[in-house]
Structure 1
């Protein structure tokens, strides 16, 4: 194995010459040897995009000679395209506010650019990771800017897939609009409803989630690139600060802008908390929906058994024939992870001090993971569960007829107390409310059937004071 020697303020290190990263990355690999998650590769690619924008801008301003800039731009593009993903293996959990991540990207781009110019990796007299690749930049404006871009892109993808999931529930609302089932409160028999009404409620809550998530994009658009270390723009110029924002807008095709206060954009991370909060709310709703589906699917004979979720895999190593609701269970766990990430993001954001938040790496890892999970969960939930849901209409009707829920329809006619007596009698004699009313002779069979017709009980009266049956 061939090695090269690189130096920094601490000393020197032997670097495997096949690696494109340098001494700063090696120290990070040693210091944060956690053997767990590495930095999110999409975050890395957006940092490389920032490096490309900076090189283009510095070339335009005459700060960076054209040959160097072109090599840096080409190397940045190769990182963006994923050609060097294996060179970014440092832990997502690191000290230094993302300095190790920024250094890692600087070194890989520099060494690849050196190769493109005909030199050998590590010969930083040709292209320097900091003097050239990191020119007019700091970790503290590069990482937040890259995270904003990555977040906006992922938010757009999440919205697209969540919209499809919402539409899938809409389709089930229409499909099951004329199938009646027993509504429950506190898991106890309540009043009739349609299966479609339940799915319609899921669609509506996801519609609100989409609205909340969409709103978060606005506060992500203001980038602090050009603010350098603390937002004052030291080692950058006014022209660079304005031009680099325009360059990045052109490269990303996103409606991003230079922040009015670069100091604010450097030290505050509340816009990421806002996104996470919207994701958390959606996750809470997905837990509710997934639990509902599990309950309605339960059994199939010893439980509710009113809907049938698609069978995806054998459910037990010991119980033959058992099939578990694995997709809703997965959705529940993903949602719990998103909620946990929101707690981490909230704590990390609130832990910023003075002019910088040192916990940007945790915010980046947690937020990008939540967005990735919600996107993939929306696809899997729709394709592997919701689209294939069937309804056991006979079981729904049986549970409805056997319950005391229908007695509620009698309250306007016979009063609450008398209705209670009939409900108790139905339970004691193990009869349906319909059978009890037939036997009581309070109304004709036609009147009973009309009063207990589920289609009359799933909506308000057509006008105030309407009485459905006159005894």
Structure 2
């Protein structure tokens, strides 16, 4: 009879790890450890892990890699350990192991749980690269080696800044796409006459191109303000350790780590001239958040305009047509809603609320540290991610497909009492007002009434009331 096969022993389901509170069993297959386990238990808040912000995960890996190389250069970390840490960090920066960054984005401890999650994942992957088992910290330790010369209080703010720069650059690119879309429509509609409005009442003529050009210019201004705000984020406090005094970091560490971090990220990072100030001050985040709020407010206003201008199609303004992207009603046949601008409005509301969150979190800092940077990171990252998606969606699924109802707009110009404004310099405000009132009461045209009253010669009146001249688009 053939020998009976002996089943292979099952791999252990857990591994035992130790921290200052005692021993805990950690799932054997994960790269995180006991500190992360406790954070998972302590902060079941949003259900959103830090891996939802991949820019932050990549930034944490960049900081850990730069720190390892700085410690190696300064003689504190051996080549084998430094190489293993750097290799693990490079994998994370390329997108690997992000699912192992599991702690909730909202957490106590000023980001300590996030920092330890990173330390443990990097350490356990580095152990594998060195040929050891996960959790065998005798050979490479999350605190002693991966976190060497560091504190959460300089690692986390530095990583948040790098993540914010990355997210802001992506938003700047997306806003550029939307700006270009509005600029293209401005050129397309350059000769399309319409009435301008103030306080939703007829004002004076303009072109639809001028209207869309204003939207493009507003976006350009906000992109410039955002780029300026991002410049402030390039100042980091890596090397400050706990409160800015640099305790437990060797001489030269701050500059050495900054140099390596700048090389890894490709960013022109600078070390703050006063690390005590930099460790507690969140002013740059408040500035960035304020610019994002400004961006959101103006973008929402633009979408309000698009909804008004496209209202109808018969009983509203009906000046432009937004591209139909879905049926608008479960009961009203044929109804199409301005769903893309409505989505952008709601993104703006969220960003405005996030700005208040950042403001209150920055204000709540005490003495040498602000413990509330996790919620600032979450708010800023969410705002930039949502605004980026909103810009691209608005450009691609709305603005590029807008068409103009040219005849309807021109008829409104020719019959509007707003043309009476152009008569002020020639017949006086009182006479122009009388004509406007009669035109409104009778439905007759301004030009017709001015000729009937023989206030101006016909040829001069025609020149004055040429709508194209009133828009400033001809000499």
* TM-score normalised by length of structure 1: 0.94
How far, CA to CA, are the matches of 2:56 and 2:347 in structure 1? 21
Work out whether 1:212 is the aligned partner of 2:230.
Answer: no
How far, CA to CA, are the matches of 2:49 and 2:453 in structure 1? 72
> What's the secondary structure of 2:252's corresponding residue?
helix
Contact 1:41 1:88 in 2 (8 A): no
> Which of 25, 32, 41 does residue 14 from structure 1 map onto?
25
Q: CA deviation at 1:403?
A: 2.2
Please tell me the root mean square deviation across aligned C-alpha atoms, in Å: 1.7
Q: Which deviates more from structure 2 when the two are superposed, residues 27-36 or residues 446-455? A: 446-455
Q: CA deviation at 1:438?
A: 4.7
Contact 1:38 1:89 in 2 (8 A): yes
Contact 1:96 1:358 in 2 (8 A): yes
1:57 is aligned to 70
Please list the CA deviations of residues 345-389 of structure 1 after superposition, one character each: whole Å capped at 9, or x if unmatched: 111111111110000101111111112222222222222222222
> What's the secondary structure of 1:299's corresponding residue?
coil
Q: CA deviation at 1:59?
A: 1.6
2:185 is aligned to 172
Please list the CA deviations of residues 138-180 of structure 1 after superposition, one character each: whole Å capped at 9, or x if unmatched: 1000011111111122222222222232222222222211111
> Which of 440, 444, 454 does residue 427 from structure 1 map onto?
440
Work out whether 1:319 is the aligned partner of 2:319.
Answer: no
Aligned pairs for 1:405-444 within 5 A: 405-444=418-457
> What's the secondary structure of 2:24's corresponding residue?
strand
Q: CA deviation at 1:432?
A: 2.8
Q: CA deviation at 1:35?
A: 4.3
1:120 is aligned to 133
Contact 1:308 1:390 in 2 (8 A): yes
2:14 is aligned to 3
Work out whether 1:286 is the aligned partner of 2:299.
Answer: yes
Please list the CA deviations of residues 68-106 of structure 1 after superposition, one character each: whole Å capped at 9, or x if unmatched: 121111111122222112112221111000000001111
> What's the secondary structure of 1:238's corresponding residue?
coil
Contact 2:108 2:371 in 1 (8 A): yes
Work out whether 1:240 is the aligned partner of 2:253.
Answer: yes
Aligned pairs for 1:137-286 within 5 A: 137-286=150-299
How far, CA to CA, are the matches of 1:448 and 1:337 in structure 2? 51
Contact 2:413 2:467 in 1 (8 A): no
Q: CA deviation at 1:460?
A: 9.9
Q: Which deviates more from structure 2 when the two are superposed, residues 242-251 or residues 73-82? A: 73-82
Aligned pairs for 1:41-52 within 5 A: 41-52=54-65
Q: Which deviates more from structure 2 when the two are superposed, residues 142-151 or residues 58-67? A: 58-67
* TM-score normalised by length of structure 2: 0.93
> Which of 26, 30, 34 does residue 45 from structure 2 map onto?
34
> Which of 451, 455, 462 does residue 468 from structure 2 map onto?
455
Contact 2:240 2:246 in 1 (8 A): yes
Contact 1:167 1:203 in 2 (8 A): yes
Please list the CA deviations of residues 392-439 of structure 1 after superposition, one character each: whole Å capped at 9, or x if unmatched: 100111222232111111222222222222222222222332343454
Aligned pairs for 1:382-401 within 5 A: 382-401=395-414
How far, CA to CA, are the matches of 2:182 and 2:439 in structure 1? 36
Aligned pairs for 1:84-95 within 5 A: 84-95=97-108
> What's the secondary structure of 2:434's corresponding residue?
helix
How far, CA to CA, are the matches of 1:431 and 1:140 in structure 2? 73
